[in-house]
Amino acid sequence: MAQDKSYQAWLDMLNAAQAQIADNEEQLGALDAHAGDGDHGASMNRAMGAVQEAIAGMQGEGVEELLKKVSGNLLRIDAGAIGPLLGTLFRGLAKGAAEGKGLNAGGLADMFRAGLDALRGQTKAQPGDKTLMDALVPAVEAMEGAAASGANARSTLAQAADAAAAGAAATTDQVAKYGRARNLGEQSKGAADPGATSLSLMLRGFADAVRDLLDDDDDPETPNA
Ligand SMILES: [Mg+2]
């Protein structure tokens, strides 16, 4: 895929992620209120505002610079734990972009694997601990599976979004091991993890944007050009 098309795709993906978060802000706050302070919807809106500032600050650079700016802005916001976590995830995505990974199944899998690796330097949370890892880890595994089976970018992101949504939904019955919610023990069951839910919403936005941007002709199985 041409660089300018990749860049446009990332803009569309980030904007669609913001729309998903905005549409679900109340729900995210309610999930957080179950075992936390209820501010997650507002925090995520602030995070998406930081993403928009990064987009507005772009001066013709490419995907790598865009994702770097997004990361830097997310790391600086005052939005609880989610700013550093998302900022670190995007730092990994930017690193993948710097290594020339494109908007295709293998490139996406590599970029998000780099994001997951970066996050693992930040948190020891594992799937099952009721954190955003419950959405991210299955999403990355779905991307790697999609890439291995020769899927295109659209299908890869759709499979990742589905896996993340299933992972986030499964946190409903888990006991929190991190954050304020861990103090509640068994009482933390009964609502999905807000961070996992946000990440799955962002991935849904990414998938929707790429589905709408690419048609069958320009999303063959390995559109790396
Ligand atoms: Mg909170």
Show the tokens assigned to 125. Answer: 């949370």
Reduced to 3 states (helix: H, G, I; strand: E, B; else coil), residue 57 is coil
Mean pLDDT of the chain: 93
Task: Compute the distance from residue 11 Cα to the ligand 1 centre, in Å.
Answer: 27
Task: Compute the distance from residue 38 Cα to the ligand 1 centre, in Å.
Answer: 5
Task: Compute the distance from residue 46 Cα to the ligand 1 centre, in Å.
Answer: 13
Whether residue 144 is contained in a domain is answered as: yes
Whether residue 199 is contained in a domain is answered as: yes
Whether residue 223 is contained in a domain is answered as: no
Reduced to 3 states (helix: H, G, I; strand: E, B; else coil), residue 92 is helix
Number of domains in the chain: 1
Encode pLDDT of 81-118 as tens digits: 899 999 999 999 999 999 999 999 999 999 999 999 99
DSSP labels, 145-165: HHHHTT--HHHHHHHHHHHHH
Show the tokens assigned to 137. Answer: 């880890």
Instruction: For residue 152, give the nearest of 206, 207, 219 by alpha carbon.
Output: 219
Whether residue 56 is contained in a domain is answered as: yes
CATH number of the domain enclosing 148: 1.25.40.340
Task: Compute the distance from residue 181 Cα to the ligand 1 centre, in Å.
Answer: 9
Show the tokens assigned to 107. Answer: 């490139």
Is the model's pLDDT at 181 over the cut of 70?
A: yes
Task: Compute the distance from residue 30 Cα to the ligand 1 centre, in Å.
Answer: 10
Whether residue 155 is contained in a domain is answered as: yes
Whether residue 42 is contained in a domain is answered as: yes
Residues with CB under 5 A from ligand 1 (ion): 32, 36-37, 39-40
Whether residue 46 is contained in a domain is answered as: yes
Instruction: Give residue 221's pLDDT.
Output: 61
Encode pLDDT of 114-159 as tens digits: 999 999 999 999 999 999 999 999 999 999 999 999 999 999 999 9
Task: Compute the distance from residue 201 Cα to the ligand 1 centre, in Å.
Answer: 17
Task: Compute the distance from residue 37 Cα to the ligand 1 centre, in Å.
Answer: 5
Query: For residue 92, what are the domain limits?
Result: 3-217
Whether residue 222 is contained in a domain is answered as: no
Q: Measured between alpha carbons, how far is residue 18 from residues 23, 46, 115, 215 in Å?
A: 9, 10, 19, 23
Task: Compute the distance from residue 135 Cα to the ligand 1 centre, in Å.
Answer: 18
